[in-house]
Structure 1
């Protein structure tokens, strides 16, 4: 992304390094430096591509200047707390992110010395540890390359582990490297770390897996050890147009075998990634001809996918007879409550609807006596629990108005019940939430 007073997306997220190199050669100079504009653009790009759960590394490359005037970083930080809710300050980001700032200047540059506290404040606002990189001496191509190489070694460390299924296993690399996940509850927080061994528990149809909530997604690359014990990444892409997923000239790899099997069978592998922590491995196509093996890490817990039930209790269908094998989605063990006793008064129409329902029953008294008092007590209980006591007085007034407007053909019990309900609603001693209004016993209803 290139930025000035506006930002421009030079190329989308891609693993085509040649495309990135080509765009880097086509970056032009524009009107001014506005770092806030760039950060807004980063928010939009990451949210649209990865969502708000994927951790990202953001690298800001600058000449050490923070801009001048109203759009400078100094002015942006000074007014960060004065923004509207519709257009807030972009930092902290809407997703977990570390901000790394590379200044293509020297540490003794007066402009950098003045800008460094502003850069550090911006990093602190992200909520994560970032870095500021600058050269000690005059910059040249070799020193700039060395600075970027050092940053890459620090923040882009690879995750090396083992993918295992029974007696088969394969050394793998996850990209990007997963980070520890902290689950925060009302009274506690717990940090989960990924195991080095990802163990395949079983296989589930991709259609049954659906799209569960995930905390991160990673590309799985097989890694083999050569005689000098250095890690080499094996190409893990599968040509969709070719049924032969492995070439005889390639080293046999369980990772590649699993990839081809999942692609052909349209299945996903359920794996354990930590203590009571699961994920799914599946084949994902990023083009018409190539597919890749991906790992989706679920939120910690065995109930991360509600329609699959408790993941600890999933078993092989071969162990049961056909009449014992259930289907997804799994029905919950507890019976759900679909009672309509609750009220929703977020909007005015909700309250009006509840009042009109009571009045409809009131006009059909005494036939609807039970329904009238049931709805009246439901509304009264909700009003008291919310502290909406004016509603009770208003409802009593409405009942009295209804009494005055009753036609001559109305049943005598209708007026008596409405007046009785109005009197009870107005009595302050009946404001206990456990109190229940009961029908007035009359000569018309006793029989």
Structure 2
């Protein structure tokens, strides 16, 4: 889980604070001291994690791209310059750009925002950004929530009393809520001094960057391990009284098998390279054999260990965590039913390995005969539309296939209430009709015009029916050569 450190370098960070009645420091100096403490901790305990450093005022600047070299990060901190007013919105937009460019939108990321609680002034201030949230066009949307999973930690170089004297705390809490709510706001307790800022960053380390120590067991063998990033508790929504479930610190290997998303680090004895270590043995075996090991993380909670190459010379032992439950992988069946082939009444793989017991077939058959059309990504919808157009260009030879694909898309669009799709496909068919060559069969133009007309009629009539409290449940279309207008309507009054 990479980390982006967002450092406020506006003029308000240069406000002086008296430290122990002697030398005068700026708030920026306190923030740099706290970040150095965080980087030293990560260099010792999170060596495989990537961290980036950004500075912002009215604009943002990427000082250090994602790196594992914490000396570079600390050196960049010591060379910070002072700029103008605070503009948190532009900084968050910068974070979104940098993370998506490096990791995409699927990788979870942690954002550490270090500021003095000053919201800025005028247009571009956090106060102004939050007040105008509901009056923005699609081209000027607020960058939160990020398109990737995020945990935001706001480190305020100010005490709670100072933040509550203005509306700074309320605005920061709203900022945290917009980010998804996963994170926390930290402020300094007591006077602004080195001891207070150390305590504040210490709380951040305990909350978000403390290593997860566990013991990996396999029979009489065991090994101390650390898991990075720290496994998060899981809450099962289907339970009557949901309770967070946490990964046990005693992890048992139950067999060779399969994995998901957390990194394993060897213990200090392994790093020394002098003591035998089961973790090294397991990692090497899985890497050479190309296998995975099934592990039990808690009561009816499983995962798997496997080797993943970080480069040509380096590889890591990875842990993938399954969803809690006895059957996390439906095709695998119950984990508790797995066992050695020698204990089975007959070899489930056959005498010549000519069959397999997997995937496990469900005992209850599905109540429907065919798959439902689902568009999860834009590419799936584009493929279906292109398939219709390909068949449309081969009319009348592909008339049956053309109407089959068209009805499938039409039924899904009506089920989803996607009236614009019907109108758009109708426009495409009309365009194809105008592009037909002179040598095309006359029936091709007839079929395209008929299909486009019926799609437009469905999109207009259906939207009107919805306004009047009616909805089409299903609607099928046949070509004009087969009794022109055959519709199967199932109209259900909305309650």
Q: TM-score normalized by structure 2?
A: 0.58
1:131 alignment counterpart: 184
2:286 alignment counterpart: 262
Does residue 273 of structure 2 align to residue 247 of structure 1? yes
Contact kept in structure 2, 1:172 and 1:221, CA below 8 Å: yes
2:249 alignment counterpart: 196
1:68 alignment counterpart: 121
Contact kept in structure 2, 1:107 and 1:113, CA below 8 Å: no
Deviation at 1:353, TM superposition (A): 4.8
Contact kept in structure 1, 2:227 and 2:262, CA below 8 Å: no
2:175 alignment counterpart: 122
Contact kept in structure 2, 1:236 and 1:292, CA below 8 Å: no
Deviation at 1:54, TM superposition (A): 5.7
**What is the aligned counterpart of 1:272 among 286, 291, 296?**
296
Contact kept in structure 1, 2:387 and 2:405, CA below 8 Å: no
Contact kept in structure 1, 2:263 and 2:316, CA below 8 Å: no
Change (3 A) 1:338 1:220: farther
Does residue 349 of structure 2 align to residue 293 of structure 1? no
1:220 alignment counterpart: 265
2:233 alignment counterpart: 180
Change (3 A) 1:328 1:123: farther
1:40 alignment counterpart: 93
Does residue 202 of structure 2 align to residue 149 of structure 1? yes
Moved more, 168-177 or 87-96: 87-96
**What is the aligned counterpart of 1:359 among 396, 409, 427?**
396
1:425 alignment counterpart: 484
Contact kept in structure 2, 1:164 and 1:200, CA below 8 Å: yes
Deviation at 1:73, TM superposition (A): 1.0
Q: Secondary structure at the match of 1:59?
A: strand
Hey, what's the Cα distance between the residues in 2 that align with 1:267 and 1:121?
47
Hey, what's the Cα distance between the residues in 1 that align with 2:64 and 2:121?
28
Moved more, 19-28 or 270-279: 270-279
Change (3 A) 1:266 1:98: same
Hey, what's the Cα distance between the residues in 2 that align with 1:264 and 1:361?
52
Hey, what's the Cα distance between the residues in 2 that align with 1:101 and 1:403?
64
Hey, what's the Cα distance between the residues in 2 that align with 1:266 and 1:149?
41
Deviation at 1:121, TM superposition (A): 1.2
Change (3 A) 1:179 1:48: farther
Change (3 A) 1:67 1:323: farther
1:19 alignment counterpart: 72
Deviation at 1:122, TM superposition (A): 0.7
Does residue 66 of structure 2 align to residue 29 of structure 1? no
Hey, what's the Cα distance between the residues in 2 that align with 1:282 and 1:180?
22
Hey, what's the Cα distance between the residues in 1 that align with 2:87 and 2:316?
38
Contact kept in structure 1, 2:264 and 2:319, CA below 8 Å: yes
Contact kept in structure 2, 1:345 and 1:351, CA below 8 Å: no
**What is the aligned counterpart of 1:100 among 150, 153, 176?**
153
Contact kept in structure 1, 2:214 and 2:226, CA below 8 Å: yes
Q: In the TM superposition, what whole-angstrom CA distance separates every residue of 1:186-209 from its partner, at most 9, and x where no partner exists?
A: x998965423332223335xxxx6
Gaps of 5+ in 1: 223-233, 238-245, 363-371, 406-419, 435-447
Contact kept in structure 1, 2:150 and 2:182, CA below 8 Å: no
CA RMSD between the two structures: 5.0
Hey, what's the Cα distance between the residues in 1 that align with 2:242 and 2:105?
20
Q: Secondary structure at the match of 1:181?
A: coil
Q: Secondary structure at the match of 1:11?
A: strand
Deviation at 1:309, TM superposition (A): 4.3
Count of matched residue pairs: 371
Q: TM-score normalized by structure 1?
A: 0.63
Gaps of 5+ in 2: 1-52, 375-379, 415-421, 434-441, 447-478, 491-495
Deviation at 1:101, TM superposition (A): 1.6
Hey, what's the Cα distance between the residues in 1 that align with 2:372 and 2:182?
49
